[in-house]
Amino acid sequence: MDLDVLSIAAHPDDTELTCGGTVIKMVEAGYRVGVLDLTAGEAGSRGSARLRSRESARASKTMGLALRDNLGLPDAGLADVREYKLKIAQKIRDLRPRTVILPYWDGRHPDHYTAGRIGYEACFLAGLAKLPLAGKPHRPHKIIYASLYVPALRPTFVVDITPYFEKKLKAILCYASQFSSRADTQNLFPSRADLRERVGSLARHFGLMIGVRYGEPFVTREVTAVDDIVTMPVRSI
């Protein structure tokens, strides 16, 4: 299966939260989009691996994914080890994505930034012909990092998700096990009632950067090329 876009995330619901609007936008543009969750979220404070698997299936259907898979690596135990990198690299060879979305390489949750780091190295290893991997070598053309979990970071670019915001919310709402009670206002997990406000405020923050209502931020390591400086979007003044 050749994918146009593959989002690699540490846990089920990470893709929906950090870049779900962009994923939906790419699906509705006609691209083949997949998600690879590295863990089942079994160590999380809420829900269970079985429950989150069912929630993930509903969210995948909502987003219109061509594929969703789970590597079954240990939740709260992702590590910079060759075994895990090779498992991800094998999936990259199998799925042959042109663009890979990874979590940003720094942040609060060790699984998130570790997924970004080993995901990048797996993309490199997948292109080495002599490694013990099945299939033809393959490296993605583009690797981008979803940086919503690091809101203080200045993004390289922001994707306008305004027309897809409601569907993003619908996909996130599939993960009912991850919501806190409405009275628990200090929890990192938003309540179902507060979800729109929490998700919307971040999306509005990044949308304002590019003059739209809702946006999702991304970072690239490399400089972006521009062919036509006359048609560049976003006014400077």
**Segment 196-223, tens digit of pLDDT:** 998 999 999 999 999 999 999 999 999 9
**Segment 30-60, tens digit of pLDDT:** 999 999 999 999 987 777 889 999 999 999 9
Answer whether residue 227 is part of any domain: no
Nearest to 9 by CA among 97, 75, 95: 75
Answer whether residue 229 is part of any domain: no
pLDDT at position 65: 98
**Segment 77-124, tens digit of pLDDT:** 999 999 999 999 999 999 999 999 999 999 899 999 999 999 999 999
Q: Percentage of the chain surpassing pLDDT 70?
A: 95
Answer whether residue 233 is part of any domain: no
- 192 pLDDT band (50/70/90 cuts)? confident
For residue 137, the cross-strand partners are: none
- 22 pLDDT band (50/70/90 cuts)? very high
- The full 3-state SS of the chain, as one line of letters, equals CCCCEEEEECCCCHHHHHHHHHHHHHHHCCCCEEEEEEECCCCCCCCCHHHHHHHHHHHHHHHCCCEEEEEEECCCCCCCCHHHHHHHHHHHHHHCCCEEEEECCCCCCHHHHHHHHHHHHHHHHCCCCCCCCCCCCCCCCEEEEECCCCCCCCCCEEEECHHHHHHHHHHHHCCHHHCECCCCCCCCCCECCCHHHHHHHHHHHHHHHCCCCCEEEEECCCCCCCCCCCCCCCCCC
Answer whether residue 199 is part of any domain: yes
144 pLDDT higher than 80: yes
pLDDT at position 179: 81
From first CA to last CA, the distance across the chain in angstroms is 45
What is the domain extent for residue 44?
5-219
- 185 pLDDT band (50/70/90 cuts)? low
Answer whether residue 236 is part of any domain: no
Quick one: tokens of 166?
Answer: 């409601």
Answer whether residue 232 is part of any domain: no
Averaged pLDDT for residues 125-142 = 97
Q: Per the structure, how many domains does the chain have?
A: 1
pTM of the model: 0.94
> What is the residue-averaged pLDDT of the chain?
94
Averaged pLDDT for residues 5-23 = 97
Answer whether residue 224 is part of any domain: no
Residue written as token pair 């089920």: 12
Answer whether residue 111 is part of any domain: yes
Residue 154, domain CATH:
3.40.50.10320
Quick one: tokens of 182?
Answer: 């409405």
pLDDT at position 110: 95
